Amino acid sequence: MRLFKPDKLRDINAGSKPNFSFKQETDPLIVFRALRRHHVHVQVRDATEPRVIEDIAVDDENSERNADPCTSSYCMWPKSSDGKVYVPYVISNQFNSRELQIIQRGLDSFSSVTCIRFVRRSNQRDYLSIASNSGCYSFVGRRGNAQSLSLDKNGCIYHNTVQHELLHALGFNHEQCRSDRDSHIRVVWENIIDSYKYAFDKIATLNQGTPYDYNSVMQYHRTAFSKNGQPTMVPIPNSNVAFGQGTQMSQNDITRVNKLYKCCPTARLTSRSHHRSYGARFCCNATLTANQKHSSPPSKKFHPRTKKRSSCPEAELQLFLLHTTDQVL
């Protein structure tokens, strides 16, 4: 495998913006297929790569850390005084322009719905080093110094895969490993390849008070690691529920990020006609004034005049305006 020295790593050109007009491939099985193709139970790579279990990189001196909740200040990426969490990164020059577009889209997708900002590294000590190594993998949470995040050009360059590995880097683990998963899925152990049964071990995951999510981008497909093509996971009580087909982060994925990093602990939109606060679905920060053009039926046009706004999607403001007839406080 070719070795990549620090001078071979580069940031995306600050003066150019990716064109996202291309058709995005979002095969719901891509995450699992890529991981299955590239990983064995525990694969030791060359000296430049970490030890990897499934798609999770581990430190030899602290290999159990990834089985614990990432709640310590060291494991989490630090919060800035402006309320944002800046995660520095560099990207290897292995990727072509289209691959860079897909990776950049995944990085940027967090900024509109969370306080996470993936930013090009300048001189920060801790940062993500994104490269095409052997498979798709990431450490869970902040490791310190240059932190490998692999997106193999041969199978990992998909929007949902990029988000999946970035969520690992932020501190999140797989949905099917939740401690409460037995209330939501039945693991069919006899159908699992023996050397992959570890992938279904229950661990303490960062659920953040959210329900089990079949649509999470962290949930594997129902035949993941099957030795006979039969399901390895069956949803309960309704075995026909579709799952493991997330093409992008779900609402619960986003909520967990916002809660773990306390992106907006007091974010509420309130009006005189609504004495209780109205929480936006994705937890957004907004201080605004707005008058609803109200008629019966309601007008299709609303005219919010925003005084201050950080991470509140326009759709959330419009949804709130549908519930009030006076000035938003």
Q: Which residues form the catalytic set?
A: 165
Nearest CA-CA partner of 224 in 198, 249, 256, 250 = 198
Q: Is 194 exposed, middle or buried (0-12, 13-18, 19+ CB in 10 A)?
A: exposed
Q: From CA 115, how far away is CA 76, in angstroms rounded?
A: 13
- Residue carrying the six token digits 């072509």: 96
Detail the residues annotated as belonging to a binding site for Zn(2+).
Answer: 164, 168, 174
Tokens coding 123 = 């001189």
* Cβ atoms < 10 Å from Cβ of 109: 19
The gap from C-alpha 273 to its chain's centroid, in whole angstroms, comes to 36
Q: Is the dihedral of CA 28, 160, 267, 142 positive or negative?
A: positive
Cβ-proximal residues to 17 (8 Å cutoff; 6+ apart), any chain: none
Instruction: Give the CA-trace dihedral at 286, 216, 35, 95, to 10 degrees.
Output: -30
